[in-house]
């Protein structure tokens, strides 16, 4: 049986840190109603749930909060905050828990995907020329075999297109045919679009890693390319 935790003299420093970064987190407004916990897919994993977490934060159990691996099983689905009568922002609380972990100790899968995106422009590490080749190959096959799409426009880095659209990098590697349904819809509605060749991966593992710096770098590269090379007025984030 675990020993009771002494809460006398504890200063809720982590709560103060989160409220400083997220003034709308509403941590002190929790009614302990449990609505968040009832709908949370991560409830009871690692003997934790969102209501319990908020109580621990308010009580100042900072050491336990910093150690719990539960920070990495919350899916950040936001179901809790949407259901919460007091709008306690548990996903942003969890984000700050993650940010408190030493970077090298964060889960390897998410860490590797974030780092790969920073290096290669997408989490799967697809070289840009392979991405372009796959896109053109799949598009050509559809244009040649389905008369309804013989004029379908699919491009990478076409300057002046109205929409710049990103793409989850798993499809070009594992299921290239799955690229096509979106193209067909865009063709059917007459959309003027292109993929960018820079930071074209739509996934965002740096968000899940709580790596603000990596996340910012990816977005800045992406936005710079769109603004200065392609000059597309609208970006569509498909993820």
Tell me if 41 contacts ligand SF4 by CB under 6 A. Answer: yes
Tell me if 84 contacts ligand SF4 by CB under 6 A. Answer: yes
Tell me if 42 contacts ligand SF4 by CB under 6 A. Answer: yes
Q: Which residue has the tokens 């929790």?
A: 30
* Residue 84 Ramachandran class (φ > 0 left, ψ -120 to 50 alpha, else beta): beta
Tell me if 206 contacts ligand SF4 by CB under 6 A. Answer: no
Helices (H), 68-107: 79-83, 90-99
Stretch that binds ligand SF4, among 40-48, 161-169, 175-183, 216-224 (CB under 6 A): 40-48
Tell me if 77 contacts ligand SF4 by CB under 6 A. Answer: yes
Tell me if 15 contacts ligand SF4 by CB under 6 A. Answer: no
Neighbours of 110 (CB within 10 A): 19
Instruction: Work out which of 61, 65, 80, 118 binds ligand SF4, going by CB under 6 A.
Output: 80
* Alpha-carbon gap, residue 91 to 71, rounded angstroms: 10
* Alpha-carbon gap, residue 236 to 239, rounded angstroms: 9
Helices (H) and strands (E) in the chain, counts: 12, 3
Tell me if 88 contacts ligand SF4 by CB under 6 A. Answer: yes
Tell me if 56 contacts ligand SF4 by CB under 6 A. Answer: no
Residues lying near ligand SF4 in the complex (CB under 6 A): 30-36, 40-42, 50-51, 54, 74-80, 84-86, 88, 90-91, 94
């Amino acid at each position: 049986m675990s020993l009771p935790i002494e809460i006398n003299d504890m200063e809720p420093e982590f709560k103060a840190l989160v409220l400083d970064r997220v003034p709308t987190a509403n941590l002190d407004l929790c009614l302990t109603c449990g609505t968040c916990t009832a709908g949370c897919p991560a409830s009871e994993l690692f003997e934790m749930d969102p209501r319990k977490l908020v109580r621990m934060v308010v009580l100042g159990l900072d050491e336990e909060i910093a150690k719990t691996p539960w920070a990495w099983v919350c899916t950040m689905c936001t179901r809790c905050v949407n259901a919460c009568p007091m709008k306690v922002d548990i996903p942003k609380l969890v984000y700050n828990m993650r940010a408190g972990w030493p970077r090298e100790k964060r889960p390897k899968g998410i860490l590797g995907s974030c780092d790969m995106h920073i290096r290669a422009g997408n989490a799967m590490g697809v070289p840009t020329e392979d991405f372009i080749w796959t896109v053109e190959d799949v598009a050509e096959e559809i244009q040649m075999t389905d008369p309804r799409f013989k004029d379908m426009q699919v491009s990478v880095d076409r300057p002046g297109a109205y929409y710049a659209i990103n793409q989850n990098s798993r499809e070009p590697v594992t299921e290239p045919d799955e690229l096509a349904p979106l193209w067909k819809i865009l063709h059917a509605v007459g959309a003027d679009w292109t993929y960018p060749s820079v930071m074209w991966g739509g996934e965002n593992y740096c968000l899940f890693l709580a790596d603000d710096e990596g996340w910012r770098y990816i977005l800045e590269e992406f936005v710079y390319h769109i603004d200065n090379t392609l000059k597309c007025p609208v970006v569509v984030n498909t993820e």
